[in-house]
């Protein structure tokens, strides 16, 4: 798995030049400055299909410029906020920037959530080592979930691959479980049962759906145009089913 050294300048160049946006970073910053005034600060980790800055008094707003192929579903975001509450940011669409005959960018305003970005960056990034949550450094509590463009409505348990991802990691030699993975998994399910009051048969069905989610995520190829739960397997990597071998047990 190749290692990619991340830099903000490369991210800006990739988005505004290679993506073919009909507006520049300066034009986007001007839009923000006219509306909010004050300081504009790019977030430290930029998305591949967006340009994101922090602005407003005390830096309380996030402004994001997104490609037309990666627009936000505001109805889905509103539903997510209704279900999950304050961990989902409020979001408004403000319009467009760029030449009408070119590839314009959609402009979104979001509330900045408290806490620190918990993306696993270190000096370099490898594909898949990303955790798009915001957390309180003092308590470890999740204060925000910030990656909603690919959200969809699925049977409960479809995203349980995230639990297994938290209990180990893929290395060059294959999947490696953390030493206390079994204890942590048991603790999760015990707390889940206590909080939800679900029966053992109901919990077994949820775990079964979790296996289906693993099959979809790691057994199907990535398709950016697919509206539902999408796979992340590289279609050019024939026979690479290491995640399935590790997580289907």
Tens digits of residue pLDDT in 119-133: 543 333 344 444 567
pLDDT at 132: 67
Whole-number Å distance between alpha carbons of 175 and 170: 4
Report the CATH number of the 7-113 domain.
3.30.200
Whole-number Å distance between alpha carbons of 224 and 222: 6
Of 70-79, 101-110, 115-124, 239-248, the poorest mean pLDDT is in 115-124
More confident residue, 247 or 136: 247
Whole-number Å distance between alpha carbons of 167 and 176: 9
Where exactly are the structural domains of the chain? 7-113, 152-247
pLDDT at 116: 63
Tens digits of residue pLDDT in 14-70: 888 866 677 899 999 999 999 998 889 998 888 888 999 999 888 889 999 999 888
Tell whether the model's pLDDT for residue 170 goes beyond 60.
Answer: yes
């Amino acid at each position: 798995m190749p290692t990619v050294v991340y830099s903000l300048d490369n991210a800006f160049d990739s988005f505004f030049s290679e993506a073919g946006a009909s507006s520049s970073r300066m034009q986007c910053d001007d839009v923000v400055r006219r509306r909010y005034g004050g300081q504009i600060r790019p977030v430290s980790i930029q998305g591949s299909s967006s340009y994101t800055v922090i602005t407003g008094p005390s830096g309380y707003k996030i402004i994001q410029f997104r490609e037309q192929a990666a627009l936000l579903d505001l109805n889905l975001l509103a539903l997510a906020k209704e279900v999950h509450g304050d961990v989902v940011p409020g979001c408004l669409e403000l319009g467009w920037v760029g030449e009408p005959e070119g590839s314009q960018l959609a402009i979104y305003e979001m509330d900045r959530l408290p806490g620190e970005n918990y993306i696993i960056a270190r000096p370099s990034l490898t594909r898949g080592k990303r955790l798009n949550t915001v957390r309180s450094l003092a308590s470890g509590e999740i204060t925000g979930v910030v990656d909603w463009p690919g959200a969809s409505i699925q049977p409960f348990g479809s995203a349980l691959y995230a639990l297994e991802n938290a209990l180990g990691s893929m290395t060059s030699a294959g999947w490696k479980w953390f030493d206390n993975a079994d204890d942590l998994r048991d603790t999760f399910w015990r707390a889940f049962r206590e909080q939800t009051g679900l029966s053992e048969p109901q919990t077994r069905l949820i775990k079964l759906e979790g296996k289906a989610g693993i099959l979809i995520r790691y057994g199907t190829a990535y398709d950016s145009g697919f509206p539902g739960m999408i796979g992340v397997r590289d279609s050019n990597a024939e026979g690479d089913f290491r995640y399935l071998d590790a997580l289907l047990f």
